[in-house]
Amino acid sequence: MPTALTALTIHELTERYRRGDVKPSDVADAYLSRIERLDGDVGAYLAVTHDRARAAARAADERYRAGRPLGPLDGAPVSIKDVFCTRGVPTTCGSKILEGFVPPYDATVVARLEAAGAVMLGKTNMDEFAMGSSTEHSAYKLTRNPWDLSRVPGGSSGGSAAAVAGELGLAALGTDTGGSIRQPGAFCGVVGLKPTYGRVSRYGVIAFASSLDHPGPLTRDVRDCALVLRAIAGVDPHDATSVDEPVPDYAALLDQGVRGLRLGVPREYFAEGLDPEIERAVRAAIERLRDLGATLEDVSLPTTDYGLAVYYIVAPAEASSNLARYDGVKYGLRAPGGKDLIDMESRTRAAGFGAEVKRRIMLGTYALSAGYYDAYYGRAQKVRTLVKRDFEAAFARVDLLLAPTTPSVAFKHGEKEDPLAMYLNDVYTVGGDLAGLPAISVRCGFSSNGLPIGLQIIGRPFDEARVLRTAYSYEQATDWLARRPELA
Amino acid sequence: MITRQDVEHVARLARLHLSDDEKERMRVQLDAILAYIDKLTALDIEGVEPTSHAVPLLNVMRDDEPAPSMPQGDALANAPDRAGEFFRVPRIIED
Amino acid sequence: MTIFQTVIGLEVHAQLLTRSKMFCGCATTFGAAPNTQTCPVCQGMPGVLPVVNRRAIEFAVRTALAFDCRINAACRFARKHYYYPDMPKNFQISQYEEPLAEEGHLDIELADGTPRTIGIQRLHLEEDVGKLVHEGTLETAQASLVDFNRAGMPLMETVSKPDIRSPEEASAYLRAFRAVLVYLGVCDGNMEEGSLRCDANVSIRPRGTAELGTKVEIKNLNSFRNVQRALEYEVKRQADALSRGERIVQETRLWDADRGHTRSMRSKEYAHDYRYFPEPDLTPLALDARWIDEIRASLPELPRARRRRFVSQYQLPAYDADQLTQSRALAEYFEAAVTAGASPKATANWTMSELLREIAADDEDAIRRSPVSPANLAGLLRLMDEGTISGKIAKDVFGKMVQTGDTAQAIVEREGLTQVADAGAIRAIVDDVIARNPKAVADFKNGNAKAAGALVGQVMKATQGKANPALANQLVQEKLTKM
């Protein structure tokens, strides 16, 4: 039996496109029908853009027929987290407050993917305004983990991760503010890369916490991740915080191996609260990388324990500001019956935002309010400096850091009711966001109940090439990718 | 300790209508989160510069070149309520 | 009775003359149809990001240098939060703890010539908000309408120190301020269109005390006259209140020009918790010293300095110097004509009477594009000086120069307007005029000297104004005395 089209990676597919064995339309159709058949169970998508996908795929067919494909993503299906604005396609950010909003513009990364020939399949589910670690905070639907439908896919990019894992999508875009690409990547056993802050444009990404939001790819394997990153990375005149650094051909640099690389193992990332199965799998992965020629070194990141506290000030503060615009005046929901403007706005926001979003707006507003700024936001920004210095000190000694992505594997729906317990999911990922460092999660094993485990590799700013090449070396040396989730 | 008055004040600043139940739940939860965040006071931050951007950049500006605006139809397309060429909002009573 | 001292500080918002908005590429043209000059960025749509307009920074630096401010080594934008439906993001990108410039001054002159130095506390940039139209009045409207065209326009806010001591000084400060901005080319200074807006902080204290009184903010002072009227009203209101033993409440009051009074806006305290924090979507600015030097080198001479120089260098009366320095373009026009060889006083007269009849003194563009170039005005004055045309003809020629843009020389030649200075030709006409006007001649003989003037007028008319008037006069007098 030939391999199903939806089991192939981007680089495998485009190889076949070039040979003429298969064409982009066939692949788009295969995905659309699989979504039709199975997404009722998984719930990865908020909207499927059939027409736009078919039109894009047909255009790609033509280019291959003419022998002039646009590049390594031409004809590759992609799924877009609903945090990215898509021209003419409703964009909700998982929130009722944006119900009916149709952006008149495309996010820069969406435009770049489409310019590279990628075929958008649809918009994926997410925690409302990217606030959450389980995608349970979506206002629209529940997303299930393809490895175990009773469990969460992680979040906030849960729809993207579930789509890629369940072969309802091939590559996806997500955003990572406290771990929202890497954590669902780990829970769903896919590759999730959070690039350096400024490496990828945020223009058109509906803001959660501006200084922490990082768009990035979720893919089946590391090579696909390298291909997608190259297409979306680079300075954008519409994003003043994007950085004008050259974008290397990451895929071409994957084969260099890890020999001679110094890998740091931060002891604070193997502390109390880490699931022993995860610790075993991650330590085994670290040993494997040593076998491949890297050297290991113990390092310390003393402020690790404070990262979450910093995060839960900075992110809500910025969110309270970014979400002030949703007031029922310009777009989205307007609650009926407001007797005057303030009443209308207060009711609209009460009806349009979910509990978690309200909690963070309240927390952030409080942290910025008169008399509390220095005690909360001001202090948090200073501790953020200390967190960053920890990483700088570590990177003076080693090239990369290795750690678990999450303290536990995917949990069951409804298991984490307490907000703080949910927040603790981000304990190993927030540091990378606060310091803006590139970090990837790759599959490094399975728990005894068959759930994927993620290995996290963190690099120096703009050193995505080394992060990817190390992840690739590990992926090539192991056969974890052979296992696929069974969807009925 | 966060008081009920604090919750009401912040809700007003944030333009959030909260029911009595929500106010109480919010008070308890914010209190718990802020208690957790209080661990930051254990660190000595004397003389430490704040980090507002992970990657420090300076002086990013654009040239003063006009670009096309949206057609009026697009500008108003998402309006929950409009009157002719304008967005329409309920009467404004100063807070 | 207690004698009070008035203490006033002004906050002036000036819309900058950039081509595009502060943080996006939308055009800044005034008067476009509602909601046609917006884009996702200035409409505050989800996902958008601001990018600073370099020209706006340059204009602010230019202004700061003109006011002798210290340009801060680093400045930063911050978000200022409050809800209002004309502000798309419900926060305004402004500057707070780290403004672009601080500590400058503006030297002004009062009507009686007294010089005063008014300190400038800070100068910063921010974005404007949209416009609200109320269905009815603000108080009675059931709904309001929003136009976001103005949202995101670049605004420069300049806050004076509380150095102003009277409503007249406030008005003088605002006039001088406006003149500087217009001179610098950073703002058109149009108060009617809202390009320049003014708020005032005013308090009074018993003369001789050092402590400041409770200050009241007055909004909506949108003309020089209103600034003075509103402040006069407010100073009196406060003095009356204190004299009655009442206390002044710290508040914001709105000037109602129609009713001629200020009234309380009754905002509660918490409405002013702006929750500033550094704008995470923009980078800090640490302006390059060389760029600042370049801007400094390109600063034009400012109105006050130029006015003084016009008096000393060209021996103009103070009034003329004042008139000619009303706008930079007008002053430059005058100087260009003088440089082209015209006499300063004649140029001043002709510029003030003829040019300003055609073009408003503050219409800089129109002056720069004037159909009568400075060189052509000098050419006209030269023809007059040389006696080729009379003053009266010169005025007609000026009118034709306005219509055609031609040189005076070309018009004079084309229309044969050269003055007739040939005594023989004029004498023949004089003879003819005298022959046809026996009554005027008789009047003259009877001692009415004015009758000679009427005869000269006839001669000029017969020559269509081309006769040299002095010569015509001389020949008429000769002829009459001989009769």
Instruction: Quote the minimal CA–CA distance from A280 to chain C in Å.
Output: 39
Mean pLDDT computed over every residue of chain C: 90
Alpha-carbon dihedral A336, A342, A348, A354, rounded to 10 degrees? -150
- Rounded to whole angstroms, the Cα distance separating A456 from A429 reads 9
Beta strands in C207-251 (DSSP E): 216-219
Q: Using 50, 70 and 90 to split pLDDT, how confident is the model at C94?
A: very high
pLDDT of residue C271: 56
pLDDT of residue C269: 45
Within 8 A of C91 by CB-CB distance, chain A residues are 321, 324
Question: Could you tell me which residues of chain A have a Cβ less than 8 Å from any Cβ in chain C?
Answer: 84-85, 91, 93, 98, 101, 103-105, 107, 202-207, 209-211, 237-241, 317-318, 320-321, 324-325, 327, 329-331, 341-342, 345, 365, 368-370, 373, 377
Mean pLDDT computed over every residue of chain A: 96
Q: Which residue of A has its CA nearest to C87?
A: A325
Q: Which residue of C has its CA nearest to A324?
A: C90
pLDDT per residue over A219-260, tens digit each?
999 999 999 999 999 999 999 999 999 999 999 999 999 999
Q: Which residue of C has its CA nearest to B94?
A: C267
The domain spans of chain A are 9-301+390-482, 304-384
Catalytic residue, chosen from A23, A81, A123, A194, is A81
A203/C47 CB distance under 8 A: yes
Q: Using 50, 70 and 90 to split pLDDT, how confident is the model at C114?
A: confident
- Rounded to whole angstroms, the Cα distance separating A15 from A392 reads 41
- Rounded to whole angstroms, the Cα distance separating A418 from C436 reads 116
Alpha-carbon dihedral C404, C409, C415, C416, rounded to 10 degrees? 170
For residue C267, pLDDT beyond 80? no
For residue A186, pLDDT beyond 90? yes
Within 8 A of A384 by CB-CB distance, chain B residues are 50-51
Intra-chain end-to-end CA distance of chain C, in Å: 81
**Is residue B26 one of the residues assigned to a domain?**
yes
Intra-chain end-to-end CA distance of chain A, in Å: 18
- Rounded to whole angstroms, the Cα distance separating C82 from A369 reads 12
**Is residue B72 one of the residues assigned to a domain?**
no
Give the residue-averaged pLDDT of C292-319. 91
- The greatest distance separating any two alpha carbons of chain C, rounded to the nearest whole angstrom, comes to 97
Within 8 A of A361 by CB-CB distance, chain B residues are 14, 16
Q: Using 50, 70 and 90 to split pLDDT, how confident is the model at A3?
A: low
CATH architecture of structural domain A9-301+390-482: Alpha-Beta Complex (3.90)
- The CA distances from residue C154 to A239, A247, C17, in Å, are 19, 34, 8
B78/A382 CB distance under 8 A: no
Q: What is the CATH number of the domain that holds B18?
A: 1.10.20.60
How long, in residues, is chain C?
483
Q: Mutate one of C20, C21, C35 to test the B interface: name it (highest B CB count within 10 A).
A: C35
Instruction: Pick the closest to residue C129 from C158, C100, C149 (CA basis).
Output: C149
- Rounded to whole angstroms, the Cα distance separating A464 from A205 reads 21
Catalytic residue, chosen from A180, A408, A441, A473, is A180
Q: Three-state DSSP class for C193?
A: coil
Instruction: Pick the closest to residue C394 from C350, C358, C359 (CA basis).
Output: C350
For residue B95, pLDDT beyond 70? no
Asked if the C-beta of A416 comes within 8 angstroms of chain B's C-beta atoms, the answer is no
Greater confidence (B18 vs C426) lies with B18
A84/C47 CB distance under 8 A: yes
For residue C266, pLDDT beyond 90? no
Instruction: Output DSSP code: residue C420.
Output: B
Q: Are A7 and A43 in contact (CB under 8 A)?
A: no
- Rounded to whole angstroms, the Cα distance separating C119 from C240 reads 29
Q: Look-up: residue for tokens 């909004």?
A: C219
Asked if the C-beta of C76 comes within 8 angstroms of chain A's C-beta atoms, the answer is no
- Find the angle CA(C14)-CA(C18)-CA(C24) to the nearest 5 degrees: 105
- Clarify whether A180 is annotated catalytic: yes
pLDDT per residue over C387-437, tens digit each?
788 888 889 999 999 999 999 989 988 887 776 767 777 888 888 888 888
Give the residue-averaged pLDDT of C257-283. 82
Judged by average pLDDT, the poorest of A375-379, A380-384, A417-421, B59-63 is A417-421
For residue C146, pLDDT beyond 60? yes
Which secondary structure element, helix H or strand E, spans residue B36, and what is its range? helix B20-37
Within 8 A of B9 by CB-CB distance, chain C residues are 270
Q: Look-up: residue for tokens 């503006």?
A: C106
**Is residue B67 one of the residues assigned to a domain?**
no
Cβ contacts of A200 within 8 Å, gap of 6 or more = A109, A214, A215, A216, A229, A232, A233, A234, A242
For residue A481, pLDDT beyond 90? yes
Q: Are C218 and C253 in contact (CB under 8 A)?
A: yes
The domain spans of chain C are 4-291, 301-414, 423-482
**Count of Cβ atoms closer than 10 Å to residue C473 Cβ:** 17
Burial class (CB in 10 A: 0-12, 13-18, 19+), C243: exposed
Q: Are A208 and A177 in contact (CB under 8 A)?
A: yes
pLDDT of residue C270: 44
- Rounded to whole angstroms, the Cα distance separating C373 from C333 reads 8
- Clarify whether A211 is annotated catalytic: no
**Amino acid present at C478:** E
Which secondary structure element, helix H or strand E, spans residue C132, and what is its range? strand C131-134
- Rounded to whole angstroms, the Cα distance separating B3 from B23 reads 10
- Rounded to whole angstroms, the Cα distance separating C372 from C392 reads 18
Judged by average pLDDT, the poorest of A146-160, A242-256, A454-468, B39-53 is B39-53
pLDDT per residue over C150-199, tens digit each?
999 999 999 999 999 999 999 999 999 999 999 999 999 998 889 999 99
Phi, psi of A453 (to 5 degrees): -120, 140
**Is residue B32 one of the residues assigned to a domain?**
yes
Give the residue-averaged pLDDT of A263-285. 96
- Rounded to whole angstroms, the Cα distance separating C2 from C257 reads 29
pLDDT of residue C138: 62
Q: Are A112 and A210 in contact (CB under 8 A)?
A: no
pLDDT per residue over C357-396, tens digit each?
989 887 888 999 999 999 999 999 998 888 788 888 889 9
pLDDT per residue over A104-137, tens digit each?
999 999 999 999 999 999 999 999 999 999 999 9
Q: Using 50, 70 and 90 to split pLDDT, how confident is the model at C438?
A: confident
B54/A366 CB distance under 8 A: no
- The CA distances from residue A219 to A16, A191, A431, A474, C385, in Å, are 19, 5, 23, 16, 87
- Domains held by chain B: number: 1
**Amino acid present at C155:** L
Output the 3-class SS for chain A. Answer: CCCCHHHCCHHHHHHHHHHCCCCHHHHHHHHHHHHHHHHHHHCCEEEECHHHHHHHHHHHHHHHHCCCCCCCCCCCEEEEECCECECCECCCCCCHHHCCCCCCCCCHHHHHHHHCCCEEEEEECCCHHHCCCCCCCCCCCCCCECCECCECCCCCCHHHHHHHHCCCCCEEEEEECCCCCHHHHHHHCCEEEECCCCCECCCCECCCCCCCCEEEEEECCHHHHHHHHHHHECCCCCCCCCCCCCCCCHHHHHHHCCCCCEEEEEHHHHCCCCCHHHHHHHHHHHHHHHHCCCEEEEECCHHHHHHHHHHHHHHHHHHHHHHHHCCCCCCCCCCCCCCCHHHHHHHHHHHHCCHHHHHHHHHHHHHHCCCCCHHHHHHHHHHHHHHHHHHHHHHCCCCEEEEECCCCCCCECCCCCCHHHHHHHHCCCHHHHHHCCCEEEEEEEECCCCCEEEEEEEECCCCHHHHHHHHHHHHHHCCHHHCCCCCC
Q: Look-up: residue for tokens 């942290």?
A: A367
**Is residue B37 one of the residues assigned to a domain?**
yes
- Clarify whether A156 is annotated catalytic: yes
**Amino acid present at C366:** A
Q: Are A157 and A181 in contact (CB under 8 A)?
A: yes
Q: Three-state DSSP class for C69?
A: coil
For residue C202, pLDDT beyond 90? yes
| B 29-68 residues with CB < 8 A to A | 29-30, 32-34, 36-37, 39-41, 43, 45, 48-55, 57, 60-62
- Rounded to whole angstroms, the Cα distance separating A346 from B11 reads 9
- The CA distances from residue C337 to B21, C320, C342, C372, C447, in Å, are 79, 15, 6, 10, 46
**Is residue B17 one of the residues assigned to a domain?**
yes
Give the residue-averaged pLDDT of C110-139. 89
pLDDT per residue over A301-337, tens digit each?
999 999 999 999 999 999 999 999 999 999 999 999 8
Cβ contacts of A471 within 8 Å, gap of 6 or more = A191, A222, A225, A440, A442, A457
pLDDT per residue over B64-93, tens digit each?
999 999 999 999 999 999 999 999 999 987
Give the residue-averaged pLDDT of C134-158. 88
For residue A418, pLDDT beyond 90? no
Q: Which residue of A has its CA nearest to C141?
A: A340
Share of chain A above pLDDT 90, in %: 95
Give the residue-averaged pLDDT of A438-463. 98
**Amino acid present at A83:** V
**Is residue B7 one of the residues assigned to a domain?**
yes
- Rounded to whole angstroms, the Cα distance separating A294 from A261 reads 5
Judged by average pLDDT, the poorest of A176-190, C299-313, C449-463 is C449-463
CATH no., domain C423-482: 1.10.10.410
Within 8 A of C148 by CB-CB distance, chain B residues are 75, 87
Q: Look-up: residue for tokens 């496109």?
A: A17
Q: Three-state DSSP class for B54?
A: coil
For residue C17, pLDDT beyond 90? yes
Phi, psi of C44 (to 5 degrees): 65, 40
Range of the domain at B35: 1-41
For residue B94, pLDDT beyond 70? no
